[in-house]
Amino acid sequence: MTRFAFTVEFDGRPFMGWQRQAHGPSVQQAIEEAIARVTGEAAVVHAAGRTDAGVHGLAMRAHADIARPITAFRLMEAINALIRPNPVAILDCMIVPDDWHARFSCTGRAYVYRIVNRRAPLTHEAGLAWRVTQPLDADAMHEAAQHLIGLHDFTTFRSAHCQSASPVKTLDRLDVARDGDRVAIHAQARSFLHHQVRSMVGCLGLVGMGRWSPQDMADALVAADRSRLGLNAPPDGLYFVRADYPASTT
């Protein structure tokens, strides 16, 4: 049995999320079905994180154990050939130690949320970014974001369906930057709660619109009360960017 690690890119629009679902297609299912066609095995693909319906991946890390003798390059090429027309691509494939785990060996996860701040409808990026028509103050958004950095109880920004044992997380980075009509929000932590990034972004959007002040963001965090959430941003603009691992593993 050989453990293969994958780097996966995907467009989340056709999927119910990363994880297999009884009520619709998933990224995990698409990859597992392609592997089954290549190897004849019912391999389970484990990922660094789960994504909601409509959320995208630039470099999701995942792994699967496969018994059939096959090189990493040939496996990658075969999956990419057979996974079409699903908008999923294996960018890299490598053999890793048996104790390497895409989820449990991961020491950090990074996301970017993309906003297009314009009145005109999206054409090429429909479903790939959040269009906000009201002018956004990115500087105020960045100021508000800094209130969330560090170790906090993020109950306000946690889905009611979150299965995490604790709402306490350490947020390492939350930066907001504008480039023309594009606003990018970068978030990084060891792990995130369900809907945490989208909930933080939604409230930052309220700050940018002038409906909240940066202090309102701080007050919402301290309240540790989901009812204090101002807005949950749509999944369209959210991308899983990177999963970090100890250098000695991969």
Q: Which residue has the higher pLDDT, 4 or 165?
A: 4
Q: Indicate which CATH number applies to the domain containing 96.
A: 3.30.70.580
Q: Give which of 37, 40, 19, 38 is closest to 28, Cα–Cα.
A: 19
Last residue of a domain, one of 55, 72, 105: 105
pLDDT at 186 over 70: yes
Q: Does residue 83 share a domain with residue 188? A: no
Q: What is the pLDDT of residue 21?
A: 84
Q: Is residue 248, in this structure, part of any structural domain at all?
A: no
Q: What is the pLDDT of residue 249?
A: 57
Q: What is the pLDDT of residue 23?
A: 85
Q: What is the pLDDT of residue 184?
A: 98
Phi-psi domain of 54 (left: phi exceeds 0; alpha: psi -120 through 50; beta: other)? left
CB-count exposure of residue 64 (10 Å: 0-12, 13-18, 19+): buried
Q: Is residue 19, in this structure, part of any structural domain at all?
A: yes
Q: What is the pLDDT of residue 162?
A: 73
Q: Is residue 250, in this structure, part of any structural domain at all?
A: no
Quote the tokens at residue 173.
């980075």
Q: What is the pLDDT of residue 250?
A: 59
Q: Which residues are marked as active site?
A: 52
Convert the pLDDT of each residue in 203-220 to its tens digit.
999 999 999 999 999 999
Q: Calculate the average pLDDT of the chain.
A: 95
* Measured distance CA(68)–CA(52) in Å, rounded: 32
Quote the tokens at residue 218.
């701080």
The boundaries of the domain holding residue 163 are 108-243
CA atoms within 13 A on the CB side of 222: 7
Q: Does residue 229 share a domain with residue 203? A: yes
Q: How many CB atoms lie within 10 A of CB 58?
A: 16
Q: Is residue 86, in this structure, part of any structural domain at all?
A: yes
Number of domains observed in the structure of the chain: 2
Q: b/e for 214-244, b at 16 or more Cβ within 10 A?
A: bebbeebbeebebebbbbebbbbbbbbbbbe
Q: Does residue 125 share a domain with residue 31? A: no
Q: What is the pLDDT of residue 20?
A: 87
The mean pLDDT of 109-114, rounded to a whole number, is 98
Q: Does residue 210 share a domain with residue 112? A: yes
Q: What is the pLDDT of residue 88?
A: 98
Share of the chain above pLDDT 90, in %: 91
Convert the pLDDT of each residue in 172-181 to its tens digit.
999 999 999 9
* Measured distance CA(117)–CA(182) in Å, rounded: 6
Q: Indicate which CATH number applies to the domain containing 173.
A: 3.30.70.660
Last residue of a domain, one of 105, 138, 154: 105
pLDDT at 105 over 70: yes
User: Which amino acid makes up residue 185?
Assistant: I
Q: Does residue 133 share a domain with residue 217? A: yes
pTM of the predicted model as reported, rounded to 2 decimal places: 0.94
Convert the pLDDT of each residue in 20-73 to its tens digit.
888 889 999 999 999 999 999 999 999 999 899 999 999 999 999 999 999 999
Q: How many CB atoms lie within 10 A of CB 181?
A: 15
Q: Does residue 136 share a domain with residue 91? A: no
Q: Does residue 128 share a domain with residue 28? A: no
Q: Is residue 173, in this structure, part of any structural domain at all?
A: yes
Q: Is residue 189, in this structure, part of any structural domain at all?
A: yes
